[in-house]
Amino acid sequence: MEQQQIISSLHEKFKNEIVSIDETSDILTFTVIKQAVTDVILFLKEELGFQFLTDLCGIHYPDQELALGVVYHLHNLPENKRIRVKTFTSVNNPEIQTLTEIFSAANWMERETYDFFGIIFIGHPNLIRILNVEYLDYFPLRKEYPLEDQTRKDKDDRFFGR
């Protein structure tokens, strides 16, 4: 299946849901609105043969209005094609439909994303922290939590990037 074919069949089905298409990246990338993400992925799985969920992870862009994102990597094994689907949500309402009904693999990946970014996956069977301790009261991979202890006065890191 050619790249153009994937784009046109997705475009036909989800004309209003697709926010942008990026063909310049290493993998064909779609950004879709969060309400449609399970439908898009189910369509990719059932109709276009992307039956393998390679990866699911979160990302945080604090400057955007929709700051929290989830990035899905899907793989069509027989044709060896990869596709990347992104969706974004706001920090105040970080709710996205779960993929666990479609891929069992999404279970822990979504728990990890919740653990680090606080993205709530609606319909997830067991959405609790997975790598961090239960009583952690923040989501550590969000950009507002700097790595080093900010109360320290003896270190000046201004010249060394972030």
Q: Binding of another protein at residue 82 (CB under 8 A)? A: yes
**With contact defined as beta carbons under 8 Å apart, do 105 and 50 qualify?**
no
User: Using the rule CB under 8 A, which residue among 2, 65, 137, 148 binds another protein?
Assistant: 148
CB-count exposure of residue 134 (10 Å: 0-12, 13-18, 19+): exposed
Q: Binding of another protein at residue 147 (CB under 8 A)? A: yes
Residue with smaller CB distance to another protein, 34 or 84? 84
Q: Binding of another protein at residue 132 (CB under 8 A)? A: yes
Q: What stretches of 6-148 adopt beta strand conformation (E)?
A: 18-22, 28-32, 52-60, 68-76, 81-89, 95-97, 120-122
**Least distance to another protein, CB of residue 60, Å:** 8
Q: Binding of another protein at residue 136 (CB under 8 A)? A: no
Q: Which of 75, 59, 3, 15 is nearest to 39 (CA)?
A: 15
Name every residue whose Cβ is closer than 8 Å to that of residue 44 and which is 6 or more positions away in sequence.
10, 50, 74, 83, 85
Residue with smaller CB distance to another protein, 4 or 161? 161
Q: Binding of another protein at residue 26 (CB under 8 A)? A: yes
User: Using the rule CB under 8 A, which residue among 4, 20, 80, 150 binds another protein?
Assistant: 80
Backbone angles phi, psi at 63, to 5 degrees: -85, -15
What track of x and - describes contact with another protein for positions 84 through 103 (by CB under 8 A)?
Answer: x------------------x
Residue 86 β-bridge partners: 31, 71
Binding site for another protein (CB under 8 A): 25-27, 51-55, 57, 59-60, 71, 73, 77, 80, 82, 84, 103-105, 107-109, 112, 116, 130-133, 140-141, 147-148, 159-162
